[in-house]
Amino acid sequence: MTIKIISPASVTNAVPEVVITFPDNKLLIDLCGEFDKNLAQIEKSIPIQIIRRGNELTLIGNAKSAKSAQDTLEKMYQRLEQNKVLLAADIDAVLRFGKVSPKTKMQTGDQIEMFSAGGAEIRTRKKTVEPRTPTQKKYMEQLFKHELVFGLGPAGTGKTYMAVAAAVSMFIEGQVDRIVLSRPAVEAGERLGFLPGDMKDKIDPYMQPLYDALNDFLPSNQLGKLIEEKKIEIAPLAFMRGRTLANAFVVLDEAQNTTTMQMKMFLTRMGEGSRMAITGDITQIDLPRGMPSGLVEAKHVLRNVKGIGFIEFDASDVVRHPMVAKIIRAYDANIKK
């Protein structure tokens, strides 16, 4: 990528300007987005004004803001040069990786590593999944490094999505023979009564989030065939007792709704050549009042066991929608009062 940066001669009391020239007008159109919406997103996050003239972008603001905006634009442009799509969430990720996080101690260099060739990513048949926050990057690394990984945190942080992506990737590469996805069939504060249909019809509403994730990674006709051949199993936690899951990638979603005995039962299903990912949010427990969560206890009991990975997400890792992060922070602040 060749980007020519011009700093105009300084004028007394004038606001500093940086002019960036992009060689490919077609990529520049994608960079700016429809009605320059991508530029507006940058301006919303960084105190900078971006003016577009032909194949040039002029940055007007202080030196620190101009440098931050320049780095962001360069990362976005490099992404387009790699023939990758540029979504609002991708831009948000570039902006996040450019900031120092007290929790992760990551610097601007980590942003460059993530969004350049060779950065961390999970490849599936339909799409490539990239981490969008430093914690997601660590989680992704843990999924491929450890045989048992716990992903704990609020909704919208990609815990289950990335775990299913890792399962599909390892299955495609032949590292595991099958995928087993499970979650406890616990209603979220509502009593739905008896559901119509056969067993599959009854449990499918509880398993739908897992089907949604799989549909993002595998063609529908292939997914249907793999489910029919039992290469991919989606079943409630109650069906796991008595089984030994060998050479499989097993994902337990909504693990905060497991009891102590259910969690122990599930963890001891691990067989030779298997991997497990346990995901859940301990702030959204739907168990009856007074019943302890198996996930909370597992976090306490297994925290220091060698070979088990624990990754904890917070509101800064939410990638679903910016408003979700605000909602989570508001609830957290209310609990602390």
pLDDT in tens, 251-260: 999 999 999 9
Statement: residue 293 has pLDDT above 60: yes
Tell me how far apart the alpha carbons of residues 144 and 159 are, in angstroms, rounded to a whole number: 14
User: Which residue has tokens 């971006």?
Assistant: 50
Of 202, 275, 265, 210, nearest to 238 by C-alpha is 265
Q: How confident is the model at residue 199 (pLDDT cuts 50, 70, 90)?
A: low
CB 259 within 8 A of CB 291: yes
CB 336 within 8 A of CB 330: no
Statement: residue 111 has pLDDT above 80: no
Question: Between residues 191 and 292, which one has the greater pLDDT?
Answer: 292
How many CB atoms are closer than 10 A to CB 261? 10
Domains present along the chain, CATH in parentheses: 4-100 (3.30.1370.10), 121-336 (3.40.50.300)
Residue 299: what pLDDT? 93
Question: Between residues 189 and 126, which one has the greater pLDDT?
Answer: 126
Residue 189: what pLDDT? 45
**DSSP, residue by residue, 38-81:** HHHHHHHHSS-EEEEETTEEEEES-HHHHHHHHHHHHHHHHHHH
How many CB atoms are closer than 10 A to CB 220? 10
pLDDT in tens, 34-79: 999 999 999 998 999 999 988 889 899 888 888 889 889 988 888 8
